[in-house]
A and B are shown apart, each in its own frame.
Chain A
Amino acid sequence: MILIEYGGALLRGLGITLWVSCLALILAAVVGALIGIARTSKFMSLRVAATAYTEFFRSLPTLVMLFFVFYGLTAAFNINLSPFVAATIALGLEGSALMSEVVRGGLQSVGKGQKEAALSSGMPVWQVELYVVWPQAIRVMLPPAVGVYVSTLKGSALASSIGFVELMQTGLLVRERVQNDYDGFTVLIAVAVIYTIVNYAISQAGAHIERKSNYAQ
Chain B
Amino acid sequence: MYDFYLPDVYPYLHKLPAALWVTIEISILATLLSSIMGVFLAIMRRSDSKVLRGVSTTYVEVIRNMPLVVLLYLIFLGLPAFGIVFSGYVSGLIALTLNSAAFMTEIFRAGLIAVPSGQFEAAQSQGMSRVTVYRYVILPQVLRTSYAPYGNQVIGVVMGSSIMMIATIEEVTAWMYNTGAVTYRYFEVFVVAGIVYLIVCQMANVARIMIGKALFKSAAAGGKW
* A interface residues, Cβ below 8 angstroms from B: 55-56, 58-64, 67-68, 71-78, 150, 153-158, 160-161, 168, 171-172, 175, 181-182, 184-185, 188-189, 191-192, 195-200, 203
- Minimum CB–CB distance from B148 to chain A (whole Å) comes to 14
A196 touches which of B62, B73, B194, B197 (Cβ 8 Å): B62
Known: A67-B173, A76-B2. A154 touches B74 (CB 8 A): no
Q: Does B61 contact A (CB under 8 A)?
A: yes
Give the residues in chain A near B180, CB-CB below 8 Å. 67, 71-72
Query: Contact: B173 with A61, CB < 8 Å?
Result: yes
A164 to B165, CA, bound (A): 17
Residue among B74, B79, B177, B202 making CB contact with A59, cutoff 8 Å? B202
Chain A residues with CB under 8 Å of B166's CB are 161
Give Cα distance in the complex from A60 to B180, angstroms: 17
B16 vs chain A, min Cβ distance (A):
14
* B: contact size bracket: 35 or more
B160: interface (CB < 8 Å): yes
A154, B73: Cα distance in complex, Å: 14
Residues of B in contact with A (beta carbons under 8 Å apart)? 2, 61-62, 64-71, 73-74, 77-82, 155, 159-163, 165-166, 173, 176-177, 180, 184-187, 189-190, 193-194, 197-198, 200-202
Complexed CA–CA distance, A185 and B222 (Å): 55
Q: Which of B66, B189, B197, B198 contacts A199 (CB 8 A)?
A: B66
- From A60, A64, A160, A189, give the contact of B74 (CB < 8 A): A189
Across-interface contacts of B198 in A (CB, < 8 A) = 55-56, 59-60
A55 to chain B, nearest CB (A): 8
B77 touches A68 (CB 8 A): no
Contact of B2 among A77, A161, A195 (CB under 8 A): A77
Can you name 27 A-B pairs with beta carbons within 8 Å? A58-B201, A59-B197, A59-B200, A60-B198, A64-B176, A64-B193, A67-B173, A67-B190, A68-B187, A68-B194, A73-B187, A75-B2, A75-B186, A77-B2, A154-B67, A155-B67, A158-B163, A168-B69, A175-B77, A184-B77, A184-B78, A185-B79, A188-B70, A192-B70, A198-B65, A199-B64, A199-B65
Residues of A within 8 A of B177 (CB): 67
Complex partner residue of B68 from A56, A68, A154, A197, CB under 8 angstroms: A154
> Interface majority SS on A: helix, strand, loop or mixed?
helix
Contact B173 A64 (CB under 8 A): yes
CB nearest neighbor in B for A67: B177
Determine the distance from Cα of A203 to Cα of B106 in the docked complex, in whole angstroms: 15
The distance in angstroms between the C-alpha atoms of A120 and B159, with both chains bound, is 47
Which of A55, A61, A196 makes the CB contact (< 8 A) with B66? A196
In the complex, given contacts A59-B159, A172-B73, what are 20 additional A-B residue pairs having Cβ atoms less than 8 angstroms apart? A55-B198, A59-B194, A60-B194, A60-B198, A61-B163, A63-B162, A64-B194, A64-B197, A67-B173, A68-B194, A75-B185, A77-B2, A150-B65, A171-B73, A175-B77, A181-B81, A189-B74, A189-B78, A198-B65, A199-B65
- Please state if A72 and B80 are interface contacts (CB–CB under 8 Å): no
Q: Is the CB of B70 within 8 A of A60?
A: no
Contact of A157 among B64, B69, B162, B201 (CB under 8 A): B69
With the chains together, A153 CA to B61 CA distance in Å? Answer: 16
Instruction: Give the residues in chain B near A188, CB-CB below 8 Å.
Output: 70, 73-74, 77-78
Residues of A contacting B80 with CB < 8 Å? 181
